[in-house]
């Protein structure tokens, strides 16, 4: 049993109180004295040459303080890609410059080419209407295959729309081809992984404040990783030294990847603040978010699964086109490669895997990591083709997976795609899922649905993913331009309470509650006496922020290491106080005790001694009690799961309803089960959204047809049932001190194929020869598939 409020307790969240009473402080809620407002002018065409921009009328509008165009930023840097990918022939990827404001050309609808700063937002908006841009529209490059085939290019200076042509693992290509050529059975599936918009409920916002007295800048912004944003602005874009730039990400209303990246608007408000001598605030509206936030997914894939007649897997081979949009967002090149190709062996002992992936520029918004980031694409391809193979071979889909699972005693296991999975028990997850689903009872439920004229299907799925990306030495070899450690500083204050400064950023994950649970558990103190400080580069150590399910596994580990240092030092101080040797002092439940005696001092007494060091061995021990640790993980963590979904399909309309959903996950050791369940619920529903509802649609001219909540279908409460979640009894991660695996993305990774497998099962049960439908499985698509079958 967990200690009160310690590791493993479902402690309710302390941050909830401010959010429930309207006292959260999101960037748009902050008003700085004297602030002016920024409005961006965005391209209405997907591809065009900027012939001229006449700003004179706008500049004379009431309240206008300044107007910026791309011309104002030609002498500053660009927003870089964070990961260099080399093509199969060794050529480095093509890296076009991504300017603060478009210059020379606009490259997607929503590409900002001007900005107006005015006294009020309405004045800025009115003036923006008066900017006259002469933009010569060019044919839009939207479809990836056309982009690779034609002469029309998004970036003239690189002369091709192919960013790179990547092979993983290139040395395995010939063997995989050979294995597939000779295989007794090959299942082939062509599929689309639909483009999504992350849609955090809080639109992006930024406030730039320049302080002339100190020649310094403050950026308050909607970021998942303020230090990374500062680094990008300082080292690449504006060249402001880091000691002159503070970045604060206050309360942030969800990210899901879209707020990892540095965006041009952040640089603009900083530069504008210096020019107009006032703080400058920008808040996106929702349509701007649709047009300019980094999107997710957007793969077109052909996958082949070769197997023996008995279902033993021989090889997976995929060819994929991955859309990167008009510019390279910061992690856009890592997402389809090292977060996707490396997972293409799935949960299986398959000996041959080869992935070919071409990244393609198009006249669309940049595409980057969105919840799951590459792993949902991998899992979808693998688990869909396995389901199809099971049907072709006449095998049960659960049994086919079990037949090929890596078994518990095979860990650590190096997959054919090159990752070393440290721990897992995929059969146990499948056992648990099958027990909850009760397939015999499913047959009864199917009959009940059929009696109502509905088709019922059961879809199942297994996933493994890699998160908490690491270690820095390895990712550096693979092309990463950043390290992937994190950091924490544990400051014990004089009266025994703690401030813990962490590099991770909480924007819904509950760090303010969970991180104190861990530290308090280690120190044997009340969690209420521990507070987390995050999101402010002037207060926290240099950490890489929150994305890729890394907060607990990476930053949490740094926090554990720093707390261990605190205990080690406190033990020395206690030993002095107790007139004993440090080796003879035990620490438990907040008390330092001399072994075999009743002599003890409390943690609080030691803290006070550290700050009032009278009668203190100053020659051996520094005063104070504050420690920092940087933690660089030895490996990814590898969460896994077994999911099941039951759907009803209305054969009259093609409408799919989710009747039951079961998610059994292995996240290793769980710190707060309530919060982990919440992460799974949210991830699963984002995956259901991808499978049934959400689609980002550009027409052939590059107009975004789904740029509002009236056109882009977000999951609503009435689209969903309650979700059965189980994550107890996981296999601990073997290489981090908490034994924890990341839990933020599993739901979004495991759920899309589960839903699609269920719909196909329903249609097959109704005698329809439908083997695949591309997501989202809207009524129109399902009805068309049924009626063409």
Which residues are at the interface with another protein (CB under 8 A)?
12-13, 15-26, 28-29, 31, 122, 199-203, 251-254, 256, 285-287, 436, 507-510, 673-675, 677-678, 681-686, 708-710, 714-718, 720, 722-726, 747
**Tokens representing residue 565 in the block:** 């240092």
CB of 291 to another protein, least distance (A): 12
Q: What is the CA radius of gyration of the chain?
A: 27
Distance CA 176, CA 604 (A): 62
Backbone phi, then psi, for 502, in 5-degree steps?
-125, 150
Beta carbon nearer to another protein, 128 or 360: 128
Residue keyed to tokens 């499913």: 442
Burial category of 268 from C-beta neighbours within 10 Å (exposed 0-12, middle 13-18, buried 19 and up): buried
> Which residue, 346 or 730, is less far from another protein as judged by CB?
730
Least Å distance between CB 529 and another protein?
20
Whole-angstrom Cα distance, residue 613 to residue 587?
A: 21
Nearest to 243 by CA among 532, 542, 468: 542
Tokens of residue 439, six digits: 């397939």
Q: Nearest distance from residue 728's CB to another protein, in Å?
A: 8
Between the alpha carbon of residue 44 and those of residues 56, 96, 110, 361, 390, the distances in Å are 21, 22, 6, 19, 47
417 versus 460: smaller Cβ distance to another protein: 460
Residue 587 CA to its chain's centroid (Å): 38
Strands 724-726 and 656-666: parallel
Least distance between another protein and beta carbon 159 (Å): 39
Q: How far is the CB of 256 from another protein (least distance, A)?
A: 7
Complex with another protein: residue 202 or 626, whichever CB lies closer? 202
Residue closer to another protein, measured from CB, 15 or 536: 15
Query: Least distance in Å: CB of 723 to another protein?
Result: 6
Q: Give whole-number Cα distances, 59 to 67, 115, 125, 753, in Å.
A: 7, 11, 12, 53
CB of 518: closest distance to another protein in angstroms?
18
Give the 3-state secondary structure of 287-352: HHHHHHCCEECCEEEEEEEEECCCCCEEEEEEEEEEEEECCCCCCCCCCCCCCCHHHCCCCECCCE
**CA angle (49, 51, 57) in 5-degree steps:** 130
CB of 725 to another protein, least distance (A): 6
Percentage helix, strand, coil for the chain under 3-state DSSP, each rounded to 5 = 30, 25, 45
Query: Looking at beta carbons only, is 518 or 680 nearer to another protein?
Result: 680
Question: Of 49 and 448, which CB lies nearer to another protein in the complex structure?
Answer: 448
Q: In the bound complex, what is the minimum distance in angstroms from residue 532's beta carbon to another protein?
A: 16
CB of 13 to another protein, least distance (A): 7
The Cβ of residue 502 has, within 10 Å, a number of other Cβ atoms equal to 29
Of the pair 200, 360, the CB lying nearest another protein is at: 200
Closer residue to another protein, CB minimum distance, 63 or 673: 673
Minimum CB separation from another protein for residue 135, in Å?
A: 24
Region for 116 from its dihedrals, namely left if φ exceeds 0, alpha if ψ lies in -120 to 50, beta otherwise: beta
CB of 719 to another protein, least distance (A): 8
Nearer to another protein, 107 or 507 (CB): 507
Q: 3-class DSSP state for residue 11?
A: coil
Measured from the CB atom, is 451 or 717 closer to another protein? 717
Rounded Cα distance, 733 and 735, in Å? 6
| Mutual angle of helices 511-523 and 557-578, in 10-degree steps | 30
**Pairing, β 48-54 against β 132-137:** antiparallel
Measured CA angle at 368 (ends 367, 373), to 5 deg? 125
Task: State the minimum distance, in angstroms, from the CB of residue 259 to another protein.
Answer: 11
Phi, psi of 92, deg, nearest 5: -70, 155
CB of 431 to another protein, least distance (A): 15
Q: Between 84 and 714, whose beta carbon lies closer to another protein?
A: 714
Cα angle 119, 124, 125 (rounded to 5 degrees) comes to 145
As a whole number of angstroms, the distance between CA 783 and CA 594 comes to 75
Distance (Å, rounded) from C-alpha 427 to C-alpha 629? 37
Q: Which is nearer to another protein, 399 or 728 (CB)?
A: 728
CB of 578 to another protein, least distance (A): 42
How far apart (Å, rounded) are the C-alpha atoms in residues 507 and 517?
18
Nearer to another protein, 234 or 690 (CB): 690
Whose Cβ is closer to another protein: residue 20's or residue 149's? Answer: 20
Alpha-carbon distance of 375 to 750, in angstroms, equals 9
């Amino acid at each position: 049993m967990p200690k009160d409020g310690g590791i493993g307790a479902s402690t309710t969240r302390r941050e909830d109180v401010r959010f429930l009473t309207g006292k959260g402080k999101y960037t748009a809620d902050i008003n700085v004295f004297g602030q002016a407002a920024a409005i961006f002018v965005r391209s209405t065409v997907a591809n065009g040459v900027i012939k001229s921009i006449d700003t004179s009328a706008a500049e004379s509008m009431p309240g206008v303080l300044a107007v910026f165009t791309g011309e104002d930023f030609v002498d500053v840097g660009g927003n870089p890609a964070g990961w260099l990918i080399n093509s199969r022939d060794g050529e480095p990827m093509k890296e076009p410059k991504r300017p603060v404001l478009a210059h020379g050309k606009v490259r997607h609808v929503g590409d900002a080419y001007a900005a107006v700063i005015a006294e009020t937002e309405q004045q800025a908006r009115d003036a923006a209407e008066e900017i006259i841009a002469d933009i010569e529209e060019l044919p839009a490059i939207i479809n990836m295959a056309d982009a690779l085939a034609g002469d029309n290019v998004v970036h003239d200076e690189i002369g091709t729309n192919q960013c790179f042509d990547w092979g993983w693992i290139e040395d395995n290509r010939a063997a995989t081809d050979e294995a597939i050529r000779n295989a007794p059975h090959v299942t082939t599936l062509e599929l689309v992984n639909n483009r999504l918009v992350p849609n955090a409920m809080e639109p992006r916002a930024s406030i730039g404040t320049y302080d002339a007295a100190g020649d310094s800048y403050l950026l308050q912004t909607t970021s998942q990783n303020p230090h990374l944003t500062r680094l990008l602005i300082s080292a690449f874009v504006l060249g402001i030294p880091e000691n002159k730039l503070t970045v604060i990400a206050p309360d942030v209303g969800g990210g899901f990847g879209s707020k990892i990246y540095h965006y041009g608007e952040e640089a603009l408000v900083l530069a504008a603040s210096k020019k107009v001598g006032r703080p400058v605030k920008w808040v996106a509206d929702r349509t701007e978010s649709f047009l300019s936030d980094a999107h997710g997914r957007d793969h077109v894939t052909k996958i082949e699964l070769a197997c023996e007649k008995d279902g033993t897997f021989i090889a997976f081979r995929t060819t994929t086109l991955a859309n990167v949009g008009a510019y390279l967002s910061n992690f856009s090149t890592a997402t389809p490669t090292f977060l996707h190709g490396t997972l293409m062996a799935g949960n299986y002992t398959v000996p041959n895997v080869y992935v070919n992936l071409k990244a393609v520029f198009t006249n669309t918004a940049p595409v980057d990591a969105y919840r799951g980031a590459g792993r949902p694409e991998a899992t979808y391809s693998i688990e869909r083709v396995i389901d199809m193979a099971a049907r072709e071979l006449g095998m049960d889909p659960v049994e086919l997976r079990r037949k090929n699972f890596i078994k518990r005693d095979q860990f650590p296991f190096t997959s054919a795609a090159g990752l070393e999975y440290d721990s897992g028990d995929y059969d146990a997850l499948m056992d648990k899922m099958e027990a909850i689903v009760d397939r015999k009872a499913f047959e009864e439920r199917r009959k009940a649905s059929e009696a109502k004229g509905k088709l019922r299907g059961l879809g199942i799925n297994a996933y493994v993913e890699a998160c908490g990306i690491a270690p820095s030495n390895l990712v550096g070899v693979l092309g990463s331009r950043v390290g992937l450690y994190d950091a924490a500083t544990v400051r014990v204050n004089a009266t025994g309470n703690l401030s813990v400064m962490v590099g991770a950023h909480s924007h819904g994950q509950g760090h303010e509650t969970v991180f104190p649970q861990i530290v308090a558990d280690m120190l044997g103190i009340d969690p209420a006496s521990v507070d987390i400080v995050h999101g402010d580069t002037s207060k926290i150590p240099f950490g890489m922020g929150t994305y890729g399910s890394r907060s607990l596994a990476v930053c949490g580990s740094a926090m554990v290491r720093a707390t261990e240092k605190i205990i080690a030092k406190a033990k020395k101080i206690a030993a002095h106080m107790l007139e004993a040797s440090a080796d003879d002092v035990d620490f438990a439940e907040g008390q330092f005790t001399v072994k075999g005696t009743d002599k003890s001092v409390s943690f609080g007494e030691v803290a006070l001694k550290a700050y009032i060091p009278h009668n203190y061995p100053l020659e051996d021990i520094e005063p104070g009690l504050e420690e920092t640790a940087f933690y660089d993980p030895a490996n990814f963590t590898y969460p896994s799961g077994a999911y099941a979904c039951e759907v009803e399909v209305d054969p009259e309309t093609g409408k799919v309803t989710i009747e039951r959903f079961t998610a059994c996950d292995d996240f290793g050791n769980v710190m707060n089960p309530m919060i982990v369940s919440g992460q799974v619920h949210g991830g699963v529903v984002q995956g259901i959204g991808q499978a049934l509802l959400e689609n980002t649609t550009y027409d052939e001219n590059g107009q975004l047809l789904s740029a509002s909540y009236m056109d882009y279908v977000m999951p609503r409460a009435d689209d969903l049932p309650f979700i059965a979640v189980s994550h107890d009894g996981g296999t601990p991660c073997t290489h981090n001190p908490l034994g924890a695996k990341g839990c933020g993305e599993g739901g979004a990774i495991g759920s899309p194929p589960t839903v699609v497998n269920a719909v196909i099962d329903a249609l097959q049960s109704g005698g329809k020869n439908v083997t695949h439908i591309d997501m989202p499985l809207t009524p129109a698509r399902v009805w068309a598939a049924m009626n063409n079958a």
